[in-house]
Structure 1
Amino acid sequence: MTHWYREFFDDLYLRAYRRMEAPEQVQREVDFIVRALQLPKGTRVLDLCCGQGRHSLELARRGFQVVGVDLSEALLYAARQRAEQERLPVTFIRCDMRDIEFADEFDACINMFTSFGYLESEDEDAKVLQRVAVALKRGGKLLLDVINRDRLVRQFQAREWHAADEGWLVLEERTFDHLSGRVETLWVMVTRDGVRYERRFSVRAYTPAELRWMSERVGLRVTELLGDYDGHLYTWDSPRLIVVAVKE
């Protein structure tokens, strides 16, 4: 499955994951980002794969200088509308994450909600880390938030339902390929009237050791592994795998 990410993130996606935009959840996640990266107010932050801007906007509300990058025009449109409504000085840019051209500009980069691992190969994912390393100032930090592969395999759920916006339901049917390390998902959305939409997506689930090796190859030294947005240390059973790394 190639290039699925070019079409997947549209208005249907926004409906399916509207629950992620609850103010208390966004505030909790940004509290965690600020603590984990020890960010002084006013620092310059790159939100890579910013989506509809939920973290970018909250960081801007707190006085950070934020640039959000995403490939989805639909999600960026939503982000820009909200920034304009609140008069928040956030810059949103449409760009493939492999193609960002910043150099020594940012004190921190965040990549949240498993936005890493979409691409077709490990080499393509490595290009993203290379571009992040170039974009960060020396001493700048990366926070990379992805699914916990260890927990995924140990507690694998082949099927899961959740409620979406306006009474819609979302079904995710998953398979895991042990050779490629990829989770292949059939995503089915059913409206209140029974109309059915189907999409597929594929994400590489990396181990902590793999992420450390990939990061350190490009000059990003891993300093911490965390397992949730409360800042607990990573374990096999943590809900998330969150890597904190610094540019040397």
Structure 2
Amino acid sequence: MTGDSYRAFASVYDLLMEDIPYGQYADWVRDIAGPAGGRALLDIGCGTGVLSERFAKDGYRVTGIDLSGDMLAAARERFAEAGLEGTFFEQPMQAMEGHSGYDVAVIAIDSLNYVTAQEEVAAVFRHAYDALNAGGHLLFDVHSPYKMTELFMDGPFTADLDSVSYIWHTYPGVEPLSVESEISFFIRRPDGLYERQEEFHLQRSYPPDTYVRLLSEAGFRVRSVTADWTGDAPESDSERIFFHAEK
């Protein structure tokens, strides 16, 4: 993907995530982990660095990892334009290595749902545990079972902006609580014509009890499981589940 294309794709990605209250997410992390104070934060699945930038501005020393080199290029550019320091690595979260000495680890905005095999989710938790200092915090969110089986089936979803449009079709996946997505992006070029790009995504979630068990097996103490920014336990129609675990 060319530089121009990854910038356009990054804008599409941010559009897909525009309903995420990034400020509220950063506040949630801060409320649990305490003031940044120059402490080290590992942003796992950092994407284009929108949330990483907020953490850096709060005063964390941010390291981001992501599977996509294109997303990381956008994240590095974002930090450079903001005059911020950050370190970024292209790694899959289930095989991340070389990370230690962190006070906080975050897997934000359902990034963990792209790790679809249960044994690989367990590997993510083990690597996060190894990366954290004693007393360190792991915070993440996932799609709820209700969202996977009901809300994602309300597609197709569409958006039409000046420079980018997309059509997003969703289908039930083969495995339980999985969703397959076919996304067609139409990116406007400088000459006014549109370039079409296709993306296929597979996401899978698990019941909250499964995540609790895997966290415990990795050595974490699970401190809270809440839903939809309420601070309350998940209900049958909750959409997003939040986990806080401590090493």
**1:15 is aligned to 2:33:** no
Q: Is the 8 A contact 2:40 2:60 kept in 1?
A: yes
| CA–CA distance in structure 1, aligned partners of residues 181 and 133 of structure 2 | 37
Could you tell me which residue of structure 2 aligns to residue 6 of structure 1? Answer: none
Listed as ranges, the gaps of 5+ residues in structure 2 are: none
| CA–CA distance in structure 2, aligned partners of residues 229 and 19 of structure 1 | 21
**1:147 is aligned to 2:143:** yes
| CA–CA distance in structure 1, aligned partners of residues 194 and 78 of structure 2 | 31
| CA–CA distance in structure 2, aligned partners of residues 38 and 129 of structure 1 | 22
Could you tell me which residue of structure 2 aligns to residue 105 of structure 1? Answer: 101
Q: Is the 8 A contact 1:32 1:231 kept in 2?
A: no
Residues 103 and 79 of structure 1, relative CA distance in 2, 3 Å threshold? closer
Scaled by the length of structure 1, the TM-score of the pair is 0.83
| CA–CA distance in structure 1, aligned partners of residues 235 and 34 of structure 2 | 22
**1:239 is aligned to 2:239:** yes
Alpha-carbon shift at residue 49 of structure 1 (Å)? 0.9
Alpha-carbon shift at residue 131 of structure 1 (Å)? 0.5
| CA–CA distance in structure 2, aligned partners of residues 115 and 70 of structure 1 | 10
- Bigger mean CA offset, 27-36 vs 105-114: 27-36
Question: What's the CA shift string for 1:91-112, capped at 9, x where partnerless?
Answer: 1122222332245411110011
Alpha-carbon shift at residue 224 of structure 1 (Å)? 0.8
Amino acid of the structure 2 residue aligned with 1:72: S
**1:168 is aligned to 2:164:** yes
| CA–CA distance in structure 2, aligned partners of residues 25 and 156 of structure 1 | 19
Amino acid of the structure 2 residue aligned with 1:55: L
Matching of residues 54-93 of structure 1 within 5 Å: 54-93=50-89
Could you tell me which residue of structure 2 aligns to residue 198 of structure 1? Answer: 198
Q: Is the 8 A contact 2:36 2:58 kept in 1?
A: no
Could you tell me which residue of structure 1 aligns to residue 209 of structure 2? Answer: 209
Amino acid of the structure 2 residue aligned with 1:220: F
Could you tell me which residue of structure 1 aligns to residue 184 of structure 2? Answer: 188
Listed as ranges, the gaps of 5+ residues in structure 1 are: 1-8
Residues 21 and 198 of structure 1, relative CA distance in 2, 3 Å threshold? closer
Alpha-carbon shift at residue 34 of structure 1 (Å)? 1.3
Higher relative CO (Cα under 8 Å, sequence separation at least 6) belongs to 1
**Aligned with residue 25 of structure 2, among 4, 29, 40:** 29
Aligned length: 238
